[in-house]
Structure 1
Amino acid sequence: MDDGSKKDIMFERMREKKKEVKIVRRIVLVIVLVLVLIGLIGGRYVYKYITGALQPMDPDSEKVIEVEIPIGSGVDTIAAKLEENGIVKDARLFKYYVKFNNNSQFQAGTYGLTKSMTLDEIIESLKTGKVYREPVFTMTVPEGLTLKQIAKIVEKSTGISEKEFLAYVNDEATVNMLMGKYSKILTEDIKAENVKYPLEGYLFPATYPFFEEKPSLETIVNSMIQGTALNVTPYLDYLQSNDKSVHWLLTFASLLEEEATAQSDRETIASVFYNRLEIDMPLQTDPTVLYALGEHKDRVLYSDLEIEDPYNTYVVKGLPPGPIAGAGRSSIEAVIDPSKTNYLFFLADKKGVNHFTDSYNQHLKNRTLYLSGD
Structure 2
Amino acid sequence: MLKLKSGGVKKRLIFLLIIVILLFGGSGIYYLSSPVEEEQVKQQQVEIKAGMSSNQVAATLAEAGLIREPLLFRAAVRIRGVEHRLQSGYYDFNTAMSLNEIIDSMVMGRVFKQQFTIPEGATVESIAQRIATQTDVEAEDFLTAAERLSQDFKLLQDYDLSQRKYPLEGYLFPDTYRVVRGVSSDKLVEVMLRQFMAKLDGELWAQIEESEYKVDEIINIASLIEGEAKYDQERELIAGVIYNRLEKGMRLQLDATVQYALSERKDRILYRDLEIESPYNTYRVAGLPPGPINNPGLASIKAALNPAETDYLYYFALEDGSHKFSKSYQEHLRLQNELRYSD
Asked if Structure 1 and Structure 2 have the same fold, meaning a TM-score greater than 0.5 normalized by the shorter chain, the answer is yes
Tell me, yes or no, if structure 1 residue 309 matches structure 2 residue 278.
yes
Q: Size of the alignment, in residue pairs?
A: 233
Paired amino acid for 2:199: N
**Any residues of structure 2 matched to 1:224-243 within 5 Å, and which?**
224-234=192-202, 235-243=204-212
Structure 2: 5+ residue runs without aligned partners?
Answer: 1-109
Question: Partner of 2:237 in structure 1?
Answer: 268
In 2 relative to 1, CA 362–193 (structure 1 residues): closer, same or farther, beyond 3 Å?
Answer: same
Q: CA deviation at 1:241?
A: 3.4
Partners of 2:300 and 2:211 lie apart in 1 by 18
Question: Partner of 2:157 in structure 1?
Answer: 187
273, 292, 309: which is aligned to 2:261? 292
Q: What secondary structure, in the 3-state scheme, does the structure 2 residue paired with 1:160 have?
A: coil
Contact 2:221 2:292 in 1 (8 A): yes
Contact 1:135 1:209 in 2 (8 A): no
Question: Partner of 2:127 in structure 1?
Answer: 150
Contact 1:256 1:270 in 2 (8 A): yes
Partners of 1:236 and 1:159 lie apart in 2 by 35
259, 263, 270: which is aligned to 2:228? 259
Partners of 2:186 and 2:147 lie apart in 1 by 13
Q: What secondary structure, in the 3-state scheme, does the structure 2 residue paired with 1:200 have?
A: coil
Contact 1:349 1:371 in 2 (8 A): no
146, 154, 158: which is aligned to 1:169? 146
Q: What secondary structure, in the 3-state scheme, does the structure 2 residue paired with 1:289 have?
A: helix
Paired amino acid for 1:167: T
Q: Which is worse superposed, 364-373 or 294-303?
A: 364-373
Paired amino acid for 1:176: Q
Question: Partner of 1:249 in structure 2?
Answer: 218
Partners of 1:265 and 1:339 lie apart in 2 by 9
Q: What secondary structure, in the 3-state scheme, does the structure 1 residue paired with 2:129 have?
A: helix
Q: Deviations over 1:233-268 (max 9, x none)?
A: 533333333342221111100000010010111000
Question: Partner of 2:165 in structure 1?
Answer: 196
Partners of 2:335 and 2:269 lie apart in 1 by 18
Q: What secondary structure, in the 3-state scheme, does the structure 1 residue paired with 2:331 have?
A: helix
Tell me, yes or no, if structure 1 residue 209 matches structure 2 residue 178.
yes
In 2 relative to 1, CA 368–156 (structure 1 residues): closer, same or farther, beyond 3 Å?
Answer: same
Q: CA deviation at 1:371?
A: 5.3
Paired amino acid for 1:175: S
**TM-score scaled by structure 2?**
0.64
Question: Partner of 1:64 in structure 2?
Answer: none
Contact 1:275 1:343 in 2 (8 A): yes
Question: Partner of 1:367 in structure 2?
Answer: 336
Q: What secondary structure, in the 3-state scheme, does the structure 1 residue paired with 2:115 have?
A: strand
**TM-score scaled by structure 1?**
0.59
In 2 relative to 1, CA 372–232 (structure 1 residues): closer, same or farther, beyond 3 Å?
Answer: farther
In 2 relative to 1, CA 152–373 (structure 1 residues): closer, same or farther, beyond 3 Å?
Answer: farther
Q: CA deviation at 1:319?
A: 0.8
Q: Deviations over 1:211-250 (max 9, x none)?
A: x222221221111111211223533333333342221111
Contact 1:239 1:246 in 2 (8 A): yes
Partners of 2:216 and 2:320 lie apart in 1 by 32
Runs of 4+, deviation exceeding 4 Å: 371-374
Contact 2:282 2:289 in 1 (8 A): yes
Tell me, yes or no, if structure 1 residue 338 matches structure 2 residue 315.
no
Contact 1:232 1:246 in 2 (8 A): no
Partners of 2:252 and 2:258 lie apart in 1 by 11
Q: Which is worse superposed, 355-364 or 322-331?
A: 355-364
Paired amino acid for 1:322: G
Q: Which is worse superposed, 338-347 or 160-169?
A: 160-169
In 2 relative to 1, CA 149–371 (structure 1 residues): closer, same or farther, beyond 3 Å?
Answer: farther
Q: What secondary structure, in the 3-state scheme, does the structure 1 residue paired with 2:282 have?
A: coil
Question: Partner of 2:187 in structure 1?
Answer: 219
Question: Partner of 1:130 in structure 2?
Answer: none
Structure 1: 5+ residue runs without aligned partners?
Answer: 1-132
Q: What secondary structure, in the 3-state scheme, does the structure 2 residue paired with 1:264 have?
A: helix
In 2 relative to 1, CA 252–220 (structure 1 residues): closer, same or farther, beyond 3 Å?
Answer: same
Q: Matched residues, percent identical? A: 40
Contact 1:261 1:354 in 2 (8 A): no
Q: Deviations over 1:333-358 (max 9, x none)?
A: 00111111110111111111211111
Q: Deviations over 1:97-116 (max 9, x none)?
A: xxxxxxxxxxxxxxxxxxxx
Partners of 1:339 and 1:135 lie apart in 2 by 46
Q: Deviations over 1:152-191 (max 9, x none)?
A: 11101112111221122113xx2234x2xxx2x33332x4
Partners of 1:153 and 1:335 lie apart in 2 by 27
